[in-house]
């Protein structure tokens, strides 16, 4: 075969379009999967993106390593299933549909359109928003099965989620209870703490009043206990105050009043004279009674109120060492339940004060702040008010400020699971390693119980039918783990698990015989994401699938925000179900920021359009840019079009130039690889440069195999780049005079072409996981085979490892670097020959290596002596003869440049006209430039 000629002026995006078309027409992706044995599996779990989202650099970033490693393990002989998935349920879709329907609140969903129509609109919406992804995923070179993509809204997926809930419930890890969690008043639903923690932009810095309130102690004249707070609306209901029994408190006199606060918080007192009257432990305050600010709510019989209680969470670091206790705080509610304090919930589900609140009933809670403070100040119960700047959490979907609100909801008992979560984490390989016992472990240490129920509509149902005691039931629960089980209990066919159909299904309580409805909540969509390993395969209902064939998956990858989110929920569910890690290896990427260092935002205009850049520079360049950057070790980077563009100018263009040189000269010299090619030396002897580059290639095979196996793309790109630099700037540079129409040594030509062919084909295989487009284009032309991605990953060939030669060549390169530096300092061009180079080396260099150095440095002789310290000295004397030779070499350079400008073929003879030339070098000039003759003329001309 002869090779298809290639142009030195390569258009990478156009090349990639051709390859994309070829892959699709010839089903190369499908063949790469199907050609690997079914009993040799490497499993990869993809985190499904929200179907409402549009592709951006963050989603492209995550998709790239999800392609690199499946490609590598496929080439290692494993079958790697790669199925796309869509995250359909939850607030992202609901918020979009609310907006499209002109709805402003959860209440309007039920009142204006009804749940049935709203769910229908959600289904319609998520069925029409995924088309944009295909183009982006194709153009970054990711292979994934879109055709068989699963959706979390599909019935099989939802059935597995039902099964997951059932398994965890039966193991005692799910309970229903009143607990405090983050809550969005606009969405009228709890929000997971890890959803907020995923993105720093979910926290907003605000400045608002921070107040010290006065609570009058009963039976003590003019004596007030001081409590600091930033939530005036929550002072409407304060049935208790908490102090730390172990802290020291003081009673001070300031003016005519007496105040009590922690000793170490006296900074909170007004800047007015005061006198300390007493010091005492907080324990002595416990049990004292105080007067409520508002008494519209009753303290029920058997409940406590208007009392100071102990709280070990109270500190003197902020505030006064006294905490107001209400239901709207995690520690507040916990201590209230422990101390049997009256619980009053004054907010409705949309954040408005309930009608039973005097004066401000029906007012939004934040709006009420001003009026509450005015009221308390007017009654002399406000001690001081100061501006306070702090960060508050906001809803990750609608950006409404969140509150901590008590919820009677369904929870996963994380506290019970924690020992198991810590234990299973030990078995997971994290890349980078510091996340394992750093951010991931730390986040688990402080994790609250996971609220898995949502007071919304579009999601998998909480699969619990409860014979509710408040409705006269016996308290029995029915928790089905499959559609079949539910059908048998309900006595009807079930085709959809969504609301409102699922809410119409009634069952008969097995204990008391009463008709029972399902609890109204839907599941947090994160439980669906956390069930992906099982649900995307409809496990355990597909009987042909065995758990050990896919769980735990070998690999997952996402950005740092998923440490507290997807990675965490996978981990929880894996541990709860099987006491197992949920994944074996996890790669954590950083975040791509805008050009100004802020989060990428259309409003800021701080990032280039990814589609435009992919069209201009191509997918391989983006892959190299990201895979070689610190973002692949969990660090944040700023998007840089310049760095993206440099990938074309660097590794890719250098590799193309080497490839172009080989193709061009192999065609000129009519060299063809034998059928079933294998590097061998029957009709040629390998030159020292051949042996060196072959040895370097074996090291590259070893290094890249290790880097791929350890999910280290940064070092993989670095090693690949270094090798290509060596290949271009040393091997090819020093081998140029071994090939071409003027060279007669056919044996040495064969050695060069055979070596270069082996190097390039192997290099295509090594780099294929990183740059799939370029490598496939090269490999197909070089080998006339179907695709590099259907080939096997190279293995080291130990007979081509020449360690001593590598060390010798490393020394030679150091000598060359020093000699070139001396030429540069003396302003002597490399084309100007010099007499000699003097070197001192620890070990004598071989004659072959000295000859290579001599040609590179352009000296007639190298004098090498043995010595401890490396020394290089260039003889800079230029004799008349050397000067003429230098002139001849400069003429050759000019003529070659002119040949290129007029489009001469490499083997094309020419006639050269020039004003003068050194006669003793005429044959040299003619031979170098393929000139039939040299003619005298006024200026340099080349004709063919």
Residues written for the chain: 944
**Contact present, 933 and 923 (Cβ < 8 Å):** no
Q: Which residues contact 384 (CB under 8 A, 6 or more apart)?
A: 211, 212, 268, 270
Residue 354: how many other CB atoms lie within 10 Å: 13
**Among candidate residues 391, 353, 352, 403, the one with its CA nearest the CA of residue 208:** 391
CA dist., res. 673 & res. 135, Å (int)? 37
Beta-sheet pairing, 257-262 with 248-254: antiparallel
CA dist., res. 183 & res. 498, Å (int)? 23
Catalytic positions are: 48, 87, 526, 562, 566, 599, 602
CA dist., res. 696 & res. 804, Å (int)? 12
Per DSSP, what are the bridge partners of residue 382?
213
**Among candidate residues 31, 410, 385, the one with its CA nearest the CA of residue 235:** 385
**Contact present, 405 and 451 (Cβ < 8 Å):** no
CA distances (Å), 685 to each of 244, 668, 689, 691, 755, in order? 86, 21, 11, 10, 11
Element (H or E) spanning 477, and its range?
A: strand 477-478
- E-strand stretches of 185-295: 189-190, 203-216, 223-229, 240-243, 248-254, 257-262, 275-281
CA dist., res. 522 & res. 687, Å (int)? 72
Q: How far from chain centre, in Å, is Cα 230?
A: 36
Beta-sheet pairing, 248-254 with 637-638: unpaired
**Among candidate residues 198, 574, 644, the one with its CA nearest the CA of residue 395:** 198
CA dist., res. 524 & res. 452, Å (int)? 5
Contacts 24+ apart (CB under 8 A), 677-685: 677/757, 677/758, 677/761, 677/783, 679/754, 679/755, 679/758, 679/800, 680/754, 681/751, 683/747, 683/750, 684/747, 684/748, 684/750, 684/751, 684/754, 685/747, 685/748, 685/751
Three-class SS of residue 864?
strand
Q: What is the largest CA-CA distance in the chain?
A: 122
**Contact present, 710 and 433 (Cβ < 8 Å):** no
Q: Which residues contact 101 (CB under 8 A, 6 or more apart)?
A: 112, 113, 118, 121
The region that residue 791 occupies, defined by phi over 0 for left and psi between -120 and 50 for alpha, beta otherwise, is beta
Three-class SS of residue 294?
coil
């Amino acid at each position: 075969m002869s090779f298809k000629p290639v142009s030195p002026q390569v258009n990478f995006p156009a090349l990639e379009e051709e390859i994309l078309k070829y892959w699709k027409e010839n089903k190369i992706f499908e063949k790469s999967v199907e050609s690997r044995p079914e009993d040799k599996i490497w499993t990869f779990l993809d985190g499904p993106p929200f179907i409402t989202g549009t592709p951006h650099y963050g989603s492209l970033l995550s998709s790239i390593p999800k392609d690199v490693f499946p490609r590598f393990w496929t080439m290692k002989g494993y079958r790697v299933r790669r199925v796309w998935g869509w995250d359909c349920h939850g607030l992202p879709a609901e918020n979009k549909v609310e907006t499209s329907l002109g709805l402003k609140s959860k209440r309007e969903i039920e009142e204006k359109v009804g749940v049935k129509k709203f769910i229908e609109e959600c289904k319609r919406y998520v069925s029409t928003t995924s088309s944009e992804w295909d183009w982006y995923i194709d153009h970054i070179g990711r292979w994934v099965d879109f055709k068989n993509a699963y959706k979390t809204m599909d019935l099989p997926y939802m059935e597995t989620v039902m099964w997951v809930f059932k398994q965890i419930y039966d193991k005692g890890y799910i309970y229903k209870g009143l607990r405090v969690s983050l809550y969005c008043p606009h969405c009228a639903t709890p929000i997971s703490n890890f959803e907020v923690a995923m993105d720093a932009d979910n926290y907003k810095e605000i400045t608002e009043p921070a107040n010290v309130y006065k609570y009058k102690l009963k039976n003590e004249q003019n004596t007030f206990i001081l409590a600091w707070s930033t939530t005036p609306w929550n002072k409407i209901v304060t049935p208790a105050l908490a102090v730390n029994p172990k802290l020291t408190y003081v009673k001070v006199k300031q003016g005519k009043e007496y105040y009590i606060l922690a000793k170490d918080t006296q900074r909170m007192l007004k800047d007015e004279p005061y006198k300390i009257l007493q010091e005492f432990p907080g324990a002595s305050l416990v049990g004292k009674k105080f007067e409520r600010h508002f008494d519209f709510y009753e303290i029920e019989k058997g409940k406590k109120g208007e009392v100071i209680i102990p709280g070990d969470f109270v500190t003197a670091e902020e505030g006064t060492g006294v905490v107001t206790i209400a239901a709207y705080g995690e520690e507040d509610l916990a201590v209230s339940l422990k101390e049997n304090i009256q619980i009053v919930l004054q907010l409705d589900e949309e954040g408005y004060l309930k009608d039973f609140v005097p004066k401000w009933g029906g007012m939004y809670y934040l709006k009420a702040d001003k009026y509450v403070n005015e009221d308390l100040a007017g009654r002399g119960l406000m001690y001081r008010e100061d501006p306070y700047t702090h960060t508050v959490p906001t809803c990750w979907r609608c950006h409404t400020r969140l509150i901590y609100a008590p919820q009677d909801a369904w929870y996963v008992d994380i506290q019970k699971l924690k020992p198991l979560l810590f234990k299973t984490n030990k078995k997971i390989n994290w890349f980078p390693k510091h996340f394992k016992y750093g951010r991931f472990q730390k986040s688990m240490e402080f994790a609250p119980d996971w609220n898995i129920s949502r007071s919304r509509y579009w999601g998998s149902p909480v699969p619990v039918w409860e014979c509710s005691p408040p409705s006269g039931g016996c308290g029995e629960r029915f928790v089905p783990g499959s559609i079949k089980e539910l059908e048998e209990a309900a006595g009807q066919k079930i085709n959809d698990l969504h609301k409102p159909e699922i809410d119409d299904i009634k069952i008969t309580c097995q204990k008391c015989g009463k008709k029972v409805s399902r609890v109204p909540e839907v599941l947090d969509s994160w439980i669906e994401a956390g069930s992906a390993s099982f649900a995307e395969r409809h496990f355990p209902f597909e009987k042909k699938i065995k758990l050990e064939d896919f769980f735990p998956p070998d690999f997952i990858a996402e950005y740092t925000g998923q440490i507290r989110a997807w990675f965490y929920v996978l981990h929880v569910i894996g541990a709860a179900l099987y006491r197992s890690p949920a994944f074996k290896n996890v790669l954590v990427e950083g975040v791509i920021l805008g050009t100004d260092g802020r989060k990428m935002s259309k409003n800021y205009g701080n990032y280039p359009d990814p589609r435009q850049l992919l069209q201009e520079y191509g997918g391989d360049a983006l892959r190299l840019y990201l895979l070689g950057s610190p973002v692949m070790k969990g660090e944040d980077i700023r998007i840089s079009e310049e760095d993206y563009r440099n990938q074309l100018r660097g590794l890719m263009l250098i590799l193309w130039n080497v490839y172009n040189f080989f193709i061009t000269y192999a065609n000129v010299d009519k060299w063809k690889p034998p059928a079933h090619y294998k590097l061998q030396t029957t009709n040629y002897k390998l030159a020292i440069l051949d042996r060196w580059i072959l040895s370097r290639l074996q090291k590259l095979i070893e290094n890249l195999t290790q880097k791929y196996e350890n999910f280290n793309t940064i070092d993989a790109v670095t090693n690949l780049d270094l090798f290509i630099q060596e290949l271009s700037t040393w091997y090819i540079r020093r081998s140029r005079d071994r090939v071409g129409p003027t060279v007669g040594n056919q044996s040495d030509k064969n050695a060069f072409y055979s070596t270069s062919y082996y190097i390039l084909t192997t290099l295509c295989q090594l780099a294929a996981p990183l740059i799939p487009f370029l490598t496939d284009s090269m490999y197909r032309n070089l080998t006339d085979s179907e695709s590099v991605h259907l080939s096997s990953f190279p293995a080291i060939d130990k007979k081509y490892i020449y360690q001593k030669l590598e060390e010798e060549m490393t020394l030679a390169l150091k000598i060359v670097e020093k000699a070139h530096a001396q030429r540069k300092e003396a302003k002597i061009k490399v084309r100007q020959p010099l007499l000699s180079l003097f070197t001192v080396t620890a070990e004598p260099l071989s004659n072959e290596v000295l000859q290579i150095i001599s040609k590179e440095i352009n000296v007639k002789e190298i004098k090498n002596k043995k010595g401890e310290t490396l020394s290089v000295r260039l003889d800079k004397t230029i004799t008349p003869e050397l000067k003429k030779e230098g002139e001849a070499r400069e003429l050759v350079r000019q003529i070659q440049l002119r040949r290129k400008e007029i489009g001469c073929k490499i083997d094309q003879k020419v006639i050269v006209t020039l004003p003068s030339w050194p006669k003793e070098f005429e044959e040299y000039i003619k031979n170098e430039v393929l000139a039939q003759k040299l003619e005298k003329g006024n200026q340099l001309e080349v004709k063919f």
